């Protein structure tokens, strides 16, 4: 069955345009409510959001849909995606919902759904919800069985304590100066508090959301400001989150960036030394750098690759019992603690290693030298350019040029009208030539 609404990470699009309209979101809530209404108990849905202006439009539409299905709704306001996943499981809710377009600009928004176990829904669950949206067979609740809605005022405190409990007992952040960039997003209240309460001196930036500035020139997808602030304040490190705080990028004391691959390498090797790492390696996606794979092999560990999307990483981790996984973009999943990517949990695990080794971040966190890798995005307006004969031939030619020394990964974005073209090998000039050739060909046929 072809997917009409759901992409690689929930439903996403431009706010107030299909499918991100109040009418469609109302249908989604009713369909999801029908799917997850089980038994005669009082059903509960936890709804969180980031700081986008359109969240105020979508939140009441979702609440109305669930209430009409006889489900109570607890609204937690701006909270990280992993916080909603945690609360869903902790409160024994039947469903968790996050209103967010993650790293996208303010004009986009999206809906992410979590099951009672705190994990993102499977493809089969999403397809069933789509079918229910189309059929409209919802069996509305009787007037006396309508749900009730309320604000959950203690949600931030619950999540803050949950994150702090993941930090190794006996360790503190005293003496560390940390720049924390919250991207004017969902973690603008909780993230600085976590680091402060663990003892750090915190320089918060990106903590003045106005509904329009989420991810704008800040956060995990634009680290320039965070890096500048690290240098300006002579900080020990910087932590940049994205709009819903499920991803994280670190800068060392010199402002040099450590992406998700470096972070996974650090956590995996540390946990392996402690006997905590399960599965004999980690799970990441086809986008992770070849240097990560070579580093893991050098310490006797393996890299299992999946399709792009933290949901697919989590599925593989669960099926094969791995407890560390993630993406180069900074989604880090640590299943000993959480069910989805969590920027704060990952940052604290990195800081634990820094403190234990009593070294600078630059000495601890650069685990390997990345293989030259280039990613370029090509915007397209429709059609299937990757099926064009000229594009297919260009990709094949690039693969022949790289041979066994490198890789090409080309895919459609699941969240934007983009084709992502990535290549890597030890020869930087060859990588640039191959990517340029493929991009030029795609642009000619679109």
Q: Which residues pair with 139 in a beta bridge?
A: none
Q: Which residues pair with 45 in a beta bridge?
A: 73, 95
Write the CA distances from 329 to 70, 263, 287, 417, integer angstroms: 39, 10, 9, 19
Q: Which residues contact 82 (CB under 8 A, 6 or more apart)?
A: 245, 246, 338, 339, 340, 341, 342, 343, 344, 345
Give kind and range of the element (H or E) at residue 442.
Answer: helix 428-445
Exposure on the CB side of residue 153, measured as CA atoms within 13 A = 0
3-state secondary structure 16-85: CCCCCCHHHHHHHHHHHHHHHCCCCCCEEEEEEECCCCCHHHHHHHHHHHHHHCCEEEEEEEECCHHHHH
CA distance 100 to 162: 22
What's the gap between Cα 75 and its chain centre? 21
CA distance 249 to 297: 24
The catalytic site residues sit at 102
């Amino acid at each position: 069955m072809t997917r009409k609404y759901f992409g690689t990470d929930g439903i996403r699009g431009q706010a107030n345009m299909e499918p991100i309209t109040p009418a469609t979101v109302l249908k989604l809530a009713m369909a999801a409510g029908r799917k997850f209404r089980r038994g005669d108990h009082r059903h509960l849905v936890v709804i969180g959001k980031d700081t986008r202006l359109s969240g105020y439009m979508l939140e009441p539409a979702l609440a109305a849909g669930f209430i009409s299905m006889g489900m109570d709704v607890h609204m937690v306001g701006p909270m990280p995606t992993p916080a909603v996943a945690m609360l869903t499981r902790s409160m024994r809710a039947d469903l968790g919902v996050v209103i967010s377009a993650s790293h996208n600009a303010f004009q986009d928004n999206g809906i992410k759904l979590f099951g009672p176990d705190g994990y993102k829904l499977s493809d089969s669950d999403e397809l069933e919800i789509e079918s229910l949206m189309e059929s409209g067979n919802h069996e509305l609740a009787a007037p006396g069985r309508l749900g009730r809605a309320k604000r959950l005022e203690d949600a931030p405190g619950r999540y803050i304590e949950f994150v702090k409990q993941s930090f190794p007992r006996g360790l503190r952040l005293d003496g560390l100066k940390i720049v924390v960039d919250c991207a004017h997003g969902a973690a603008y209240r909780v993230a600085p508090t976590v680091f402060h309460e663990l003892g750090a001196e915190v320089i918060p930036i990106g903590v003045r959301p106005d509904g329009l500035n989420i991810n704008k020139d800040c956060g995990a997808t634009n680290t320039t400001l965070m890096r500048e602030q690290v240098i300006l304040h002579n900080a020990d490190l910087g932590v940049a989150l994205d709009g819903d705080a499920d991803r994280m990028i670190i800068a060392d004391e010199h402002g040099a960036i450590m992406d998700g691959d470096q972070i996974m390498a650090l956590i995996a090797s540390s946990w392996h030394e402690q006997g905590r790492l399960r599965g004999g390696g980690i799970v990441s996606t086809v986008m992770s750098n070849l240097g990560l794979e070579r580093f893991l092999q050098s310490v006797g560990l393996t890299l299992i690759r999946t399709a792009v999307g933290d949901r697919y990483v989590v599925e593989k981790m669960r099926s094969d019992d791995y407890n560390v996984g993630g993406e180069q973009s900074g989604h880090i999943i640590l299943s000993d603690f959480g069910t989805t990517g969590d920027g704060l949990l990952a940052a604290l695990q990195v800081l634990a290693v820094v403190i234990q080794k009593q070294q600078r971040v630059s000495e601890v966190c650069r685990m390997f030298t990345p293989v030259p890798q280039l990613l370029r995005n090509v915007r397209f307006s429709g059609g299937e350019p990757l099926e064009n004969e000229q594009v297919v031939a260009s990709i094949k030619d690039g693969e022949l040029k790289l041979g066994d020394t490198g890789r090409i990964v080309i895919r459609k974005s699941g969240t934007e009208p983009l084709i992502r073209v990535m290549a890597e090998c030890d020869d930087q000039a060859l990588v640039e030539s191959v990517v340029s050739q493929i991009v030029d060909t795609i642009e000619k046929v679109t």
